[in-house]
Amino acid sequence: MFVTDSKKLSLFKRALLSFGVMLASSISSAAAPIKTNFILGMDVNGQRLNLYQDCEEGSVTCDDMLLIAPDLQRLGLTKPSDQNLYTSPYRVKLYPAKTVHSLCKDGVSPCRFHGYSFEGAGIKGFIDPAYNTIQIENDRTAADNTVDYVENTTYLPLTAQASLIDSIYKASDKKLNDSYKGTLEEVRQLYGSEMVGDLKKEQIQWLKQRSKNCGADANHLPRTQAEKVCFIQQNNLRDRAWFLWID
């Protein structure tokens, strides 16, 4: 059957609308990813995971939660290789979450708090604040992995505030470059040109490793908000390490 361009456009618009409705319904029961709902920041291999909740203050349990993170199938179950580094960017995904408690003797009332469960897109997981670990299960492959996280109270949004992350990233990148140039000059004055060459080689290796940790394009630049947030964190750690070259 012949379909005109106008009909194709109409069908395409309907498909987009249907997808938007499905996406909205899939997270309608989860907390809005805004700073006032932010309760836990987790750093895993340089990547940031943010947990949000929107329950009444004093609530023992909460089903209205949301975990926002880079693709956890990639982050927790696979390691980025040199081959897929430039073709598989870290995308932000949404995972509905809730608190997990054991029940009291009455079999109804929640007693001991254990952590947070989450799921979505073939993933089921559990966040254990007692041990700072995240257990991730892949429904399709039955693969199971546990990764450690470092709690981070600094709020770095992964959705809805791209302009804020862009400004933080630009400031972080400039600070790192300025620090690098300053450190090079101090090393030159204190130790000579040979040590300057060693520092340059180390910096090149660090840039490559940052791309492996965070994901990047062929020019070692971040492509997504998740990758920019990772760059910000890696830059801050690198900036603190410069004193080792001039101590």
Query: Which of 72-81, 109-118, 124-133 comes out lowest in average pLDDT?
Result: 72-81
Give residue 73's pLDDT: 79
Sheet holding 92-103, edge to edge: 144-148, 133-138, 123-128, 110-120, 92-103, 65-70, 47-53, 38-44, 150-151
Residue 47 to residues 42, 52, 53, 164, 228, Cα–Cα distance (Å): 8, 17, 20, 17, 10
Taking residues 82-98, report their average pLDDT: 81
DSSP 135-202: EEEETTT--EEEEE-EE--S---SSS-HHHHHHHHHHHHHHHHHHHHHHHHHHHHHH-HHHHHHHHHH
Give residue 39's pLDDT: 94
For 137-178, the pLDDT digits (tens) are 887 766 688 999 999 999 999 987 889 999 999 999 999 999
Give residue 221's pLDDT: 94
For 204-225, the pLDDT digits (tens) are 999 999 998 898 999 999 999 9
> Which position has the higher pLDDT, 8 or 36?
36
Q: Half-sphere exposure (CA, 13 Å, Cβ side) for 50?
A: 24
Contacts of residue 120, defined as CB under 8 A and 6 or more positions apart, other chains included, come to 26, 93, 94, 95, 96
Give residue 140's pLDDT: 73
Quick one: pLDDT band at residue 82, thresholds 50, 70, 90?
A: low
Contact present, 48 and 156 (Cβ < 8 Å) = yes
The vertex-122 CA angle with 119 and 126, nearest 5°, equals: 35
Query: Which of 10-19, 82-91, 109-118, 233-242 comes out lowest in average pLDDT?
Result: 10-19
CB atoms within 10 A of CB 4: 8
Give residue 229's pLDDT: 94
Contact present, 158 and 68 (Cβ < 8 Å) = yes
Coil, helix or strand at residue 115:
strand
The residue extents of the domains of the chain are 35-151, 162-246
Q: Half-sphere exposure (CA, 13 Å, Cβ side) for 5?
A: 0
Question: In whole angstroms, what is the distance from residue 227 CA to residue 205 CA?
Answer: 18
